[in-house]
């Protein structure tokens, strides 16, 4: 590894310049990254269930429904029915909607002496309260309309069937705009997959905004407590920060969207990527008998590069197993790009970090060899305690493993998308109401 370390330090400025140039390039590309909140796309397109769903959608004008639920004291009020009629007519012209069904345009099937008569349930909305009450009693007496109105006549649905292949989230947002512009007299709920996608999109973005800075702050605190200087905080963090930018930028370039799984990649790379930098900086700090930073960085890299490389390769192999071990597309994408991110972190750690360390100020001359135990007394105490209690710890570990092995068979599978949302969220409250 001496030849490798000598090569890196010799051409350090090239590696530093190249790393920062690539970081700027990938950072610019991130703005193009998309979010995929469409749960139906997470299955492989070759799946038989996916093929069947696509066939049904093509044959019957779409198989996805956006639901607008309207709650009022009495749906069979003239003003409320008028609002529903106007909204139904306007929603028909929203691009991406195949057809709209509500109380005001649904068909009515009656048995007559001649046979079966098919017509509209409500030809014209009457203003007469008695006529409205007659229609109400008639509708509530027939099972045919139970999918459009509640038994107490306080909630009714407008069902918007989406065309196959449209941008579901965009159509759902347009439906919301139309509904809000109508100022319906009553409370409005939104349900169905297209509206769930809007909330899932927000959930993914919120996770990125909250979790990534949070884990970043935690790592910075840990680095400061460990090294107690700016060098020990910033330099190890570079490999994690840059690898996140490179990975997200590459996903944007390849048009690979973030999902409810892959949005955790920045968090994972922050934890894993920082570790490689910590090893290198810590080794650099231990070599106190060499004052020249260039020579010190070269020796550090020659001694630590192989362990760091092996640690990175095993981690990459672990994440690559998702490609072959999972059926879901989003899990495979997560495995691929987390592996790529770890690889980026490994490359940056073994090139950029030693290059930067070689440019630091020359240290004071000393003949001392580092004594980690003086700076890490808690670690020494823990080590002694573990040695003293090795048999109880071993027995306890075996019991934990056995209990965990038994517990594996009791794991329940849950595929309800609603479980991703908190009970108080609008989408979950609407779906449970529906």
DSSP character string of 376-422: -HHHHHHHHHHHHTHHHHHHHHHHHHHHHHHHHTTPPP---GGGGS-
The length of the chain is 434
Put residue 413 in one of left, alpha, beta given phi > 0 → left and psi -120 to 50 → alpha.
beta
pLDDT of residue 373: 44
Mean pLDDT, 10 residues at a time, the chain of 434 residues: 85 93 95 84 78 75 81 90 91 91 86 76 86 89 86 91 86 92 86 84 86 89 85 88 95 92 91 90 84 88 91 93 83 93 94 91 58 59 88 95 92 76 75 77
Q: Tell me how far the alpha carbon of residue 256 is from its chain's centroid.
A: 13
pLDDT of residue 401: 96
Is 62 in contact with 98 (CB distance < 8 Å)? Answer: yes
pLDDT of residue 44: 78
Is 19 in contact with 242 (CB distance < 8 Å)? Answer: yes
Put residue 431 in one of left, alpha, beta given phi > 0 → left and psi -120 to 50 → alpha.
alpha
How far apart (Å, rounded) are the C-alpha atoms in residues 205 and 207?
Answer: 5
pLDDT of residue 50: 77
Collapsing DSSP states into helix, strand and coil, what is residue 37?
coil
Tens digit of each residue's pLDDT (9 = 90 or more) over 45-69: 777 887 887 777 777 666 688 899 9
**Six token digits for residue 290:** 């060499």
* Residues whose CB falls within 8 Å of the CB of residue 7, separated by 6 or more in sequence, listed in order: none
Three-state secondary structure of the chain? CHHHHHHHHHCHHHHHHHHHHHHHHHHHHHHHCCECCCHHHHCCCCCHHHHHHHHHHHHCCCCEEEEEEEECCCCCCHHHHHHHHHHHHHHCCCCCEEEEECCCCCEEEEECCCCEEEEECCCCCCCCHHHHHHHHHHHHCCHHHCCCECCCCCEEEEEEEECCCCCHHHHHHHHHHHHHHHCCCCEEEEECHHHHHHHHHHHHHHHHHHHHHHHHHHHHHHHHHHHCCHHHHHHHHHHHHHHHHHHHHHHHHCCCCECCCHHHHHHHHHHHHHHHHHHHHHHHHHCCCCCCHHHHHHHHHHHHHHHHHHHHHHHHHHHHHHHHHCCCHHHHHHHHHHHHHHHHHHHHHHHHHHHHHCCCCCCCCCCCCCCHHHHCHHHHHHHHHHHHCHHHHHHHHHHHHHHHHHHHCCCCCCCCHHHHCCCCCHHHHHHHHC
Collapsing DSSP states into helix, strand and coil, what is residue 91?
helix
Tens digit of each residue's pLDDT (9 = 90 or more) over 419-432: 777 777 777 777 77
Strand spans (E) along 3-77: 64-71
């Amino acid at each position: 590894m001496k030849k490798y370390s000598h090569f890196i330090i010799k051409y350090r400025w090239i590696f530093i310049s190249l790393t920062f140039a690539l970081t700027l390039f990938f950072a610019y590309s991130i703005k193009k990254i998309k979010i995929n909140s469409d749960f139906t796309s997470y299955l492989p397109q070759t799946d038989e269930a996916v093929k069947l769903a696509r066939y049904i959608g093509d044959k019957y004008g779409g198989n996805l429904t956006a639901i607008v639920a309207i709650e009022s004291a009495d749906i069979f009020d003239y003003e409320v029915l008028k609002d529903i009629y106007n909204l139904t007519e306007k929603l028909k012209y929203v691009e991406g909607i195949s057809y709209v069904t509500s109380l005001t345009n649904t068909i009515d099937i009656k048995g007559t002496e001649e046979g079966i008569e098919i017509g509209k349930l409500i030809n014209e909305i009457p203003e007469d309260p008695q006529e409205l009450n007659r229609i109400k009693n008639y509708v509530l007496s027939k099972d045919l309309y139970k999918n459009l109105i509640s038994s107490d006549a306080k909630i009714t649905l407008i069902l918007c069937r989406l065309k196959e292949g449209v941008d579901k989230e965009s159509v759902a947002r347009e439906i919301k705009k139309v509904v809000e512009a109508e100022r319906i007299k009553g409370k409005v709920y939104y349900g169905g997959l297209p509206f769930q996608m809007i909330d899932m999109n927000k959930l993914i973005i919120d996770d990125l905004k909250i979790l990534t800075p949070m884990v970043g702050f935690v790592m910075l605190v840990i680095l400061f407590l460990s090294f107690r200087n700016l060098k020990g905080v910033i330099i190890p963090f570079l490999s994690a920060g840059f690898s996140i930018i490179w990975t997200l930028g590459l996903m944007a370039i390849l048009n690979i969207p973030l999902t409810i799984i892959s949005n955790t990649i920045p968090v994972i790379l922050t934890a894993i990527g920082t570790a490689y930098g910590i090893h290198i900086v810590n080794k650099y700090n231990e070599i106190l008998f060499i004052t020249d930073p260039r020579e010190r960085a070269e020796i550090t890299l020659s001694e630590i590069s192989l362990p760091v490389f092996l640690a990175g390769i095993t981690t990459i192999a672990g994440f690559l197993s998702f490609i072959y071990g999972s059926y879901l597309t989003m899990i495979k994408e997560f495995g691929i790009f987390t592996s790529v991110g770890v690889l980026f972190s490994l490359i940056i750690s073994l090139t950029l970090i030693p290059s930067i360390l070689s440019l630091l100020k020359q240290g004071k001359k000393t003949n001392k060899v580092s004594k980690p135990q003086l700076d890490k007394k808690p670690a020494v105490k823990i080590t002694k305690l573990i040695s003293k209690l090795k048999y109880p710890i071993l027995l306890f570990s075996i019991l934990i493993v056995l209990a965990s092995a038994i517990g594996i068979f009791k794991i329940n599978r849950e595929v309800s998308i609603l479980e991703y949302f908190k009970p108080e969220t609008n989408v979950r409250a609407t779906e449970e109401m529906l």
